[in-house]
Chain A
Amino acid sequence: AQKITQTQPGMFVQEKEAVTLDCTYDTSDPSYGLFWYKQPSSGEMIFLIYQGSYDQQNATEGRYSLNFQKARKSANLVISASQLGDSAMYFCAMSPNSGNTPLVFGKGTRLSVIA
C-alpha cells in the first residue's frame, strides 16, 4: 500500500524568502508519480508540479521546484521568493504507474506567508 507523510502541520515564512515543504512516501512499486497541489482558503485544489520516479531531473514550474531524493523516498516542494498569495494548504500525493491504483494524498501542510 502507498502512504504519504507530511510532517509539518503548519509553516511560516517571510515574504520573499524560500520555503521547503516536506513530503516522504512509502511504496513498493518501482515506478510511480508524485504530485503537489495547493488549496487556498477559497477551497479549490490547484495542481502545482509533477515528478516521475524515473525522471532524470528534478521538476520545476516557475517558483516551484521539487527536491526529489529517491533513495530517501522524499519529494519536498520548494517555493522560492514567497508571496502573500502562497498562503494555503499544500498537499503531496502519489500513485504507482502500474494499473489504476488511485492517488493517495498526505494530510497537508498549512503555509502562512508573513509580510
Chain B
Amino acid sequence: NAGVTQTPKFQVLKTGQSMTLQCAQDMNHEYMSWYRQDPGMGLRLIHYSVGAGITDQGEVPNGYNVSRSTTEDFPLRLLSAAPSQTSVYFCASSFGGPGSNQPQHFGDGTRLSIL
C-alpha cells in the first residue's frame, strides 16, 4: 500500500530553473494539497484540489502552478525557481475535504534547495 508518493526526495536547483515535483496517491482520494514547511513557520498551503480538473490557491501560491488531470496525480510546478522557495514540500490527500473528519495523509516530503 503505497499511500502518497512524492518524487524526488531531494533536489538542488539554480535560480531561474523550472521543475515539477511529483505527487501520486493510490487511495482514490478526491482532495489533494501541497504545503511548504519552513523553519518556525509550520506548514503553509500552496495549492489544493477538490477533484480532477479543479484546483485553487492556498496561502502562498505565488511562483507555483498546479494541475489535476487525474484523481491520482497532483504535480507542483516551480516556474522560475528563487532562493525564497528553498523549503520542504509536502503533498497530502484525503477522502473528504478538510471540512470532513478525514485526516490528511502526507507524503514523505521533497527537500528543495535553490542556489
Instruction: Name the one of B40, B41, B48, B90 contacting A102, with C-beta atoms under 8 angstroms.
Output: B48
Report the Cα distance A108→B44, complex, angstroms: 12
> A43-B108, A102-B58 are known contacts. Are A108 and B99 too (CB-CB below 8 A)?
no
- Cβ of B33 under 8 Å from chain A: yes
What is the minimal beta-carbon distance from A25 to any residue of chain B, in angstroms?
13
- What CA separation (Å) do A4 and B43 show in the bound complex? 11
Q: Which of A62-70, A73-81, A90-98 contacts B (4 or more CB under 8 A)?
A: A90-98
**In contact, B33 and A44 (Cβ under 8 angstroms):** no
- Contact among A35, A91, A93, A100 for B97, CB-based, below 8 A: A100
Within 8 A of B (CB), among A20-61: 33, 35, 37, 43-45, 47, 50, 52
Which residues in A have their C-beta under 8 angstroms from that of B106?
Answer: 37, 44-45
**A45-B43 Cα distance, complex, nearest whole Å:** 11
* Any B CB within 8 A of the CB of A101: yes
Find residues 62-115 in chain B having any chain A CB closer than 8 Å to their own CB: 88, 90, 92, 97-101, 103-106, 108-109
A101 to B98, CA, bound (A): 7
The docked-state distance in angstroms from the alpha carbon of A23 to that of B92 is 22
Contact B109 A108 (CB under 8 A): no
Check A52–B101 contact: CB distance below 8 A: yes
Contacting pair B108 A103 (CB below 8 A): no
